[in-house]
Amino acid sequence: MEHPADVDEYIDKSEQWPDEMRALRKIILGTGLTEEVKWGKPCYSRDEHNVVIMQEMKHFLALMFFKGVLLKDPAGVLEPNGPNSRSAMRMTFTSTDDVADRSGTLTDYLAEAIEIADAGLEVEHDATEEFCEELDERLASDDTFREAFEGLTPGRQREYNLHFSSAKKAETRLSRIEKLVPKILEGKGFRDR
């Protein structure tokens, strides 16, 4: 699938949430964030710090805050982006009325997320995460691979490890590692193309 060049094109191609995206976009751009299509989705940033990204889901439109766990969430509207997510949190919307009803809350949350980006705050991650045995062995035996893997962001390392370690059999874990070695050597994340 060809990725749209800009946000207008992305929204125009949407079959499920175009009106909701336009409503969210108006609020987001009102905060001074810049927009571009990143990872195939409308992404909003401040001084090259990603703040939020729109994600079209089957039953809702999500606005994911990259460092959502750092937000206070007084309205209790944020939810984890997925079972393995450590820092991202999202607000979900199901209609333009939903966007309008929560526009004040959204504006407040965006302001706080921008303050977090401006302050350079980072989400603390558990540095003691253990890799699956097969990945540990490959890292110990292949210096080039180890350097490339260590050059990935902690989130990318974790995503690879989750993929490798989710296989029940050692042969499958080894096969998954071998298949993805070239991608890791290129410095790409698991989901990067």
pLDDT in tens, 146-177: 999 989 887 788 889 989 989 999 999 999 99
Q: How confident is the model at residue 1 (pLDDT cuts 50, 70, 90)?
A: very low
DSSP letter at 68 equals G
2 has pLDDT over 60: no
Residue 165: name the closest of 134, 139, 188, 190 by CA.
134
Distance of alpha carbon 70 from alpha carbon 60, whole angstroms: 23
pLDDT per residue as tens digits for the range 47-99: 989 999 999 999 999 999 999 999 999 999 999 887 667 788 999 999 999 99
Distance of alpha carbon 16 from alpha carbon 183, whole angstroms: 33
pLDDT of residue 126: 61
From-to residues of CATH 3.90.1150.200 in the chain:
7-119
Question: Is the domain covering 7-119 a CATH 3.40.640.10 domain?
Answer: no
**Residue that wins the pLDDT comparison between 86 and 132:** 132
User: Do 65 and 90 contact (CB within 8 A), yes or no?
Assistant: yes
Q: What is the pTM of this model?
A: 0.71
Q: How far is CA 103 from CA 69, 173, 180, in A?
A: 20, 45, 42
